[in-house]
Chains A and B, each alone.
Chain A
Amino acid sequence: MPEGSTEAGTGTQRRTPQWGMAIDLDRCTGCEACVVACASENNVPTAGEDQAAKGRTKHWIRIDRYYEGDFPNIRVRHRPVLCQQCDEAPCEPVCPVNATYQNAEGLNVQIYNRCIGTRYCAINCPYTVRFFNWYPPEWAEPLGLQLNPDVSVRPAGVVEKCTFCVQRIKRAKLNATAEGREVGDGEIQPACVQSCPAEAMVFGDLSDPSSRVARLANSRRAQRLLEELGTKPRVFYLERAD
Chain B
Amino acid sequence: MQSGHAPYKGVRPPLMLLLFLAAAGVLMAADQPLSFSHAAHIEKARMQCTDCHSGAKTRDAAGIPSIRRCMACHQFIATDRPEIGRLVAYWEKQREVPWLRVYGFAKDAAVQFRHAPHARAEIECARCHGDVASMTVAVPTVIHTMGTCVQCHRDNSASDDCLACHY
Contacts and interface: CB of A to CB of B under 8 A. Distances in A.
B118 interface: yes
A21 to B, nearest CB: 17
A10 B120 contact: yes
Contacts of B158: 5-8
B108 interface: yes
A152 interface: yes
Contacts of B121: 8-9
A8 B149 CA distance: 13
A109 B118 contact: no
A104 B58 CA distance: 27
A163 B162 CA distance: 13
A78 B1 CA distance: 34
- What interface size band does chain B fall in? 20 to 34
B112 interface: yes
B126 interface: no
A205 B52 CA distance: 39
A9 B1 contact: no
A219 interface: no
Nearest to B107: A153
B157 interface: yes
Interface residues of A, number: 33
A174 B117 CA distance: 7
Contacts of B58: 178
B82 to A, nearest CB: 37
Interface string B111-135: 0101011111110000000000000
Q: Is the interface of A mostly helix, strand, loop or mixed?
A: loop
Interface centre among A103, A155, A166, A178 (most CB of B within 10 A): A103
A111 B2 contact: no
Interface centre among A113, A154, A163, A174 (most CB of B within 10 A): A113
Interface in B124-167: 153, 156-159, 161-164, 166-167
A112 B107 CA distance: 12
B166 A103 contact: no
Contacts of A170: 112, 114, 167
A204 B72 CA distance: 47
A150 B4 contact: no
A104 B163 CA distance: 10
Contact of A8 (B5, B107, B156, B167): B156
A174 B116 contact: yes
Contacts of A178: 58, 116, 120
A6 B167 contact: no
Contacts of B161: 1, 103-104, 109
Interface in A91-118: 92, 98, 101-104, 107, 109, 111-114
Contacts of B11: none
A193 B22 CA distance: 41
Nearest to B159: A1
Interface in A1-31: 1-2, 5-10
23 contacts: A7-B159, A8-B117, A8-B153, A9-B117, A9-B118, A9-B119, A9-B121, A92-B1, A98-B5, A101-B4, A103-B163, A104-B161, A107-B163, A109-B162, A113-B166, A152-B112, A152-B167, A166-B163, A166-B167, A170-B112, A170-B114, A177-B117, A178-B116
Ranked nearest first, the 5 interchain pairs of A and B with the lowest CB-CB distance are A9-B120, A101-B1, A9-B121, A152-B110, A8-B158
